[in-house]
Amino acid sequence: MNKYIILFCLLVNTPLFAGETTQYEITSPTSGVVEQIHVIVGKQVAKGDLLLSFDDSLILSNLSEAQATIKLAKLNQIEAKKEQDRAEELYDRTVLSEHDLQQARVANAKALAQFAQAKNQLQHALWDKKHSKLSASFSGEVLQILAYPGQYVNNQFTAQPLFIIKPK
């Protein structure tokens, strides 16, 4: 499983002199290849307007894989629970050794852990899908666009500014 650090940052340039306006550098919490820019410099944007979308082909593939993994993990967990129940019944009838019973319990615990891991993987994939599109978090005017289609945005260590927006 890939491990990664995701940083999300909203940097504020505060006014230093009278008459200077506040502007915000807008970043994304995810890394990826910019597919499309949905705004132009000078455009007024409202809260929730789409600013940028990332190529989501890998994200959708990861989501599909996570959904399949969770189905398989659930089936394995159900089967491991049945095996543990059967082992406990056989042990109670003194047909099965304590060692075999313990192995069935360990197998069930492993299956539960794998199911929990699969659920976590699905949550990561859903989060990535949700953040594959960057929307304005407030209304304002687009002052600069610092991203372009085809650009790889790598936010693994520091968040790259993608837009500069002046709030209304």
Cβ count within 10 A of residue 80: 21
5 vs 145 pLDDT, higher one:
145
The secondary structure of the chain, three-state, reads CCCCCCCCCEEEECCCCCCCCCEEEECCCCCEEEEEECCCCCCEECCCCEEEEECCHHHHHHHHHHHHHHHHHHHHHHHHHHHHHHHHHHHHCCCCCHHHHHHHHHHHHHHHHHHHHHHHHHHHHHHHHHCCEEECCCCEEEEEECCCCCCEECCCCCCCCCEEEEEC
Class of CATH domain 10-56+139-167: mainly beta
| pLDDT band with cut points at 50, 70 and 90 for residue 153 | very high
Mean pLDDT of 140-149: 97
Q: Locate tokens 């929990």: which residue?
A: 116
Domain ranges of the chain: 10-56+139-167, 59-129
Query: What percentage of the chain carries pLDDT values higher than 90?
Result: 83
Cα 15 from Cα 69, distance rounded (Å): 51
15 vs 97 pLDDT, higher one:
97
pLDDT at site 88: 96
Closest CA to 115 of 72, 82, 81, 79: 72
Taken in order 112, 115, 121, 124, the sign of the CA dihedral is negative
Same fold for the domain at 10-56+139-167 and the one at 59-129? Answer: no
CATH 3.30.70 corresponds to the domain 59-129: no
pLDDT at site 20: 59
